[in-house]
Amino acid sequence: MNESIKSWKIWWEGTLKRVNPDWQVGATLEWENGDEGKILDFHPLKELTIMGNLNEISTWSFTADRPGSTVVGIEVDLSNSLVRETGPGAMEIELQTPLSKLKEYIES
């Protein structure tokens, strides 16, 4: 199993099963629950843009803040998706735990 998939499981609550063929633009992300996504843009250790199975687009950015510290950001575009937020800040609250886990993983 690819080491990067193992690390994804540490911080993200969904279980990534496979990246096919590999971490690159156009690759398919396969989740254990049967969902799929597609990598739209990828710059290792800098940025990752994924389209989910409901056409939501998530852009993850990683910036070195200072030695030993990384700022992790996520921007989610729901404008052309089937996903609807349930209220103001709902997406932000939902992402707090996995983003905190990712920050800890990157800095360890």
- Tens-place pLDDT, residues 43-59: 988 899 999 888 889 99
The alpha-carbon radius of gyration of the chain (Å, integer) is 14
* Domains, the chain, ordered by start: 3-107 (3.30.530.20)
pLDDT, tens digit (0-9, with 9 covering 90-100), for 67-99? 877 787 888 888 888 766 655 555 555 666 777
Q: What is the pLDDT of residue 41?
A: 96
More confident residue, 86 or 103: 103
79, 104 Cβ separation under 8 angstroms: no
pLDDT, tens digit (0-9, with 9 covering 90-100), for 11-47? 666 678 889 998 899 999 998 888 899 999 999 888 9
**DSSP 8-class letter at 96:** H
C-alpha dist (Å) from residue 4 to 10, 19, 25, 61 = 10, 10, 16, 16
- Token pair in block for residue 51: 């389209």
